Structure 1
């Protein structure tokens, strides 16, 4: 008499089938790699970022740092450039150039910060808001496609674990020479 397959054996078969689609170096980087976290984070980020930023550049003529700034302001109007630098990991000079281009294209506007009259905050113009509103569903769809391999509970756990890493990031070395 044949027994019904267990959930584990079904998952093992699904994993084996999925592995057939991966090249040998990707498999090596997954399981024989001392820097396993870096590989996984970069692999997943690239698979999200590459198609999204290519599409945005083609459709709107915005390169990645420009869209990073526009997206940040779309998420939270009235932020300063220093906040975008802190939350993006992009160099200050790169973001400064990107913001200047967005101001020139009238996708962002700069206003005096009412809490600190010596500082400026950024807001989207109607044209900038239109781009943000048009791109967000595409990005959400890409994210959903990538997360489809995980259950809702796994997605929550992944989110919580990634939250912990982001929250701990101020304690990480920023210069490897020391």
Structure 2
């Protein structure tokens, strides 16, 4: 059976999903091998460089659903990697922040992620990566804001 004219081979959304899957797989294997789930990695990385995020912001940043993020946050609070604080102005809003131990763990994982990204850049080339980054950012910025 010929696959010469498959629609998906040139379909942008398929290519984006496939590239993400291929590029992420090796790094996610490394993360899991170090005893950290991909969900934990995403939470720690999303919080790094912030003064904290709400559960809703974290859910959006981690590309996950709220119950899954809440469960991961509960686990990380128990491990003293995160703190959770109710907003005094809106008791429905919960802020999540890295503890010093969480910062250290995030730094370690981000260093691994940076090495992985450096290998991807070396394979593709810096100029093409910059073009890709710009194009992907433009696509993301087109998305309607979620309420």
Please give the TM-score of this superposition, normalised by the length of structure 1. 0.69
Q: Which residue of 2 aligns with 1:44?
A: 19
State whether structure 2 residue 120 is matched by structure 1 residue 146.
yes
Task: Give the alignment partner of residue 63 of structure 1, picking from 29, 33, 37.
Answer: 37
Please give the TM-score of this superposition, normalised by the length of structure 2. 0.81
CA offsets 1:6-55 (integer angstroms, 9 cap, x no match): xxxxxxxxxxxxxxxxxxx9xx59x7334622332222212332222222
Q: Which residue of 2 aligns with 1:113?
A: 87
Alpha-carbon shift at residue 117 of structure 1 (Å)? 4.6
Task: Compare 143-152 and 160-169 and name the one that shifted more.
Answer: 143-152
Identify the structure with bigger relative contact order (alpha carbons < 8 Å, sequence gap 6+): 2
Name stretches of at least 5 consecutive residues in structure 2 with no aligned partner: none
Cα distance, 1:104–1:41 mapped onto 2, change above 3 Å: same
Name stretches of at least 5 consecutive residues in structure 1 with no aligned partner: 1-24, 172-178
Cα distance, 1:53–1:152 mapped onto 2, change above 3 Å: closer
Q: Is the Cα–Cα contact under 8 Å of residues 41 and 109 in structure 2 kept in the other structure?
A: no
Distance of 1:126 and 1:53 partners within structure 2? 24
Q: Which of 1 and 2 has greater Rg?
A: 1
Q: Which residue of 2 aligns with 1:7?
A: none
Q: Which residue of 2 aligns with 1:78?
A: 52
